[in-house]
Structure 1
Amino acid sequence: MLIRIEASNLPGRECGQTPGFPGYSNIYVGVQWRDRRDELLGLHPGDASSAVWELNATATRRETEWDLRGPFVQGRPGGRFVYLSWGTVDDAGVFAMFRRAKLAFDGIPAAVLDAAVDNDLLVARLGLTDSRGHPLCAAVRPPLVEWSAPTV
């Protein structure tokens, strides 16, 4: 199955300091490989108009639900997710993570996941700027992310 993450409303390449947020410059976002905090897929600048990532996953039936696994899928059965990692990129091109958004699969409606397995496509659509204008972080579930299973 293909998981396509379609992101919009990125926060910008600069996010100034506010209470509880130190501020960062030259911000980028990418998908973190499973158990490899410093390895990312598809870095996009924080001021991009949009970002899209396509991830391969397998769906296995476990009793009454689907279990998604793949090289970018984190967590244990029943608690799987994908990390979108935010960080800065220095002059040498080195990425330093400062926060992550966890796209939690437990927020996917069962009917959508059933259709995604049938269609071989699961789509997540979300904005990447939080209510304070910072990079979106923490656990992300509906209504912050919209899951769908379009036909190919």
Structure 2
Amino acid sequence: MTRLTLRITGRDLPGRGCGDFSDVHAGVQRGKDPEQLVPADAEKALFDITADVVRVPDGTTDFRGPYVQGRRGERFFYLTWGELPSGGSFTMFRRAKLFFADIPEELVASGAAETSLGLTDCHGLPLCAAVRPPRVVWLPGAGGA
């Protein structure tokens, strides 16, 4: 088992007030909870996550860890969007899925990958749903194994 470190740099955030939402924040989902929350009017958002990389008996690669979602062969992680009023709690209203299978095998083997991703959709709202290439492009990351 090896460790994969991912850095996601979010740029072009939609703003704290977008659509019907206010006090908007973005984060990564760890289990069922958001973490690394960043206000959606920030210049950029940095998210760092890790996943364990394992070879399963059939020889394929699998991913495990608190950020990993989905079934084997369909693993992904979430960028989550929600409202976080001052003194209140985070209420999620949308998520974006990024898939481990879209990370090139050589980057998985190196132990580190990163991407820079626009986080506003074509309607000026927080990016959501499945985010696949060419929208997300994984590059070599620093700090690999």
TM-score (norm 2): 0.87
Question: Is residue 131 of structure 2 the alignment partner of residue 140 of structure 1?
Answer: yes
Supply the distance in 2 between the matched residues of 1:78 and 1:87 (Cα, whole angstroms).
Answer: 28
Q: Give the length in aligned residue pairs.
A: 139
Question: Is residue 12 of structure 2 the alignment partner of residue 9 of structure 1?
Answer: yes
Supply the distance in 2 between the matched residues of 1:146 and 1:93 (Cα, whole angstroms).
Answer: 35
Gaps of 5+ in 2: none
Question: Is residue 29 of structure 2 the alignment partner of residue 29 of structure 1?
Answer: no
The Cα RMSD (Å) is 1.6
Aligned residue runs from structure 1 range 2-151, under 5 A: 2-16=5-19, 23-34=20-31, 36=32, 39-62=33-56, 63-108=58-103, 112-113=104-105, 115-150=106-141
Runs of 4+ aligned structure 1 residues displaced above 6 Å come to: none
Supply the distance in 2 between the matched residues of 1:120 and 1:50 (Cα, whole angstroms).
Answer: 24
Identity of aligned residues (%): 45
Q: Give the structure 2 partner of residue 19 of structure 1.
A: none
Question: SS at the partner of 1:146?
Answer: coil
Gaps of 5+ in 1: 17-22
Question: SS at the partner of 1:117?
Answer: helix
Supply the distance in 2 between the matched residues of 1:149 and 1:61 (Cα, whole angstroms).
Answer: 21
Supply the distance in 1 between the matched residues of 2:142 and 2:27 (Cα, whole angstroms).
Answer: 26
Matched residue type, 1:6? T
Supply the distance in 2 between the matched residues of 1:146 and 1:67 (Cα, whole angstroms).
Answer: 20
Q: Is residue 7–residue 141 contact of structure 2 (8 Å, CA) maintained in 1?
A: no
Q: Is residue 25–residue 84 contact of structure 2 (8 Å, CA) maintained in 1?
A: yes
